Amino acid sequence: MAAPAGAASLPSATAEKRGFDHVDTWIFDLDNTLYPASCDLFAQVDQRMSSFIAKTLGVPREHARHLQKAYYRQFGTTLAGLMKVHKLAPGPFLDYVHDIDLSVVPELPELATAIAALPGRRLIFTNGSRRHAENVAAKLGVLHLFEDICDIAALDYVPKPEREAFDRMLKLHDVPAMRAAMFEDMPHNLEAASTLGMTTVLVHSDYIDHPAQLKIREWRELPQHIHYLTRDLTHFLLNGIGGRAE
């Protein structure tokens, strides 16, 4: 199967062609997916996580950074680790880490056009807060195109990549998994999506924040749980949906 339009110069899928004709619900991750990783917005969140941990736990910043990444790898999100290990309330953490400068986020009218053209329902599914998703999506110029935002609080703080997070999201929004497409920048976050029957699209960039992203460099073909890969979400939506890129 040829790589879809906008796909990176990485292997194309070896699984049978799926297409998108059956999809009527379009689910998008937020960070480094809806907005381009090149704007480096998440770096601000990343640094504020370290600052929050250092201040709240009273540890040196270097140790705070270690805990941040260790919890991220072990529990799916840094917040999940802080809640489980240190019994921290999630609200203050989310408010602090998402208090960032959004001036680096561009307005993307072409992305808005591409999303508006998708037939059916559209949702944002994020490990961040609703407020953060609303602010960023509004800055991009796409917030009004989404039916709803499924944030970490709506999932009772169970994060992606946990299967339970996907089960809860699907139930909350009455989404049949087999009729949904999931767009995400973290490859391991697509494993549960694929298992449930969603069509999966990895939005790939050079931003590295997890060991799973480093493994992409070793791929000779796409894993079975990733059906499409693109470096350009807007181009993919405009040209790769419906099999037009084949």
**DSSP symbols for the chain:** -PPPTT--SSPPP-SPP--STT--EEEE--TTTTS-GGG-HHHHHHHHHHHHHHHHHT--HHHHHHHHHHHHHHHSSHHHHHHHHH---HHHHHHHHT---GGGSPP-HHHHHHHHTS-SEEEEE-SS-HHHHHHHHHHHT-GGG-SEEE-TTTTTT--TT-HHHHHHHHHHTT--GGGEEEEES-GGGGHHHHHHT-EEEEE--S---SHHHHGGGG-SS--TT--EEES-HHHHHHHTGGGTT-
Q: What residue ranges define each of the domains in the chain, with the CATH number in brackets?
A: 25-37+106-243 (3.40.50.1000), 41-97 (1.10.150.450)
Q: Give the mean model confidence (pLDDT) for residues 14-29.
A: 82
Entry pTM:
0.87
The pLDDT tens digits for 132-144 are 999 999 999 999 9
pLDDT of residue 246: 30
The pLDDT tens digits for 86-143 are 999 999 999 999 999 999 999 999 999 999 999 999 999 999 999 999 999 999 999 9
Which single residue is written with the structure tokens 């339970």? 164
The pLDDT tens digits for 144-176 are 999 999 999 999 999 999 999 999 999 999 999
Q: Give the mean model confidence (pLDDT) for residues 217-242.
A: 86
pLDDT level of residue 208 (50, 70, 90 thresholds): low
The pLDDT tens digits for 27-83 are 999 999 999 989 999 899 999 999 999 999 999 999 999 999 999 889 989 999 999
pLDDT level of residue 245 (50, 70, 90 thresholds): very low
Q: Give the mean model confidence (pLDDT) for residues 175-185.
A: 97
CA distance 236 to 21: 15
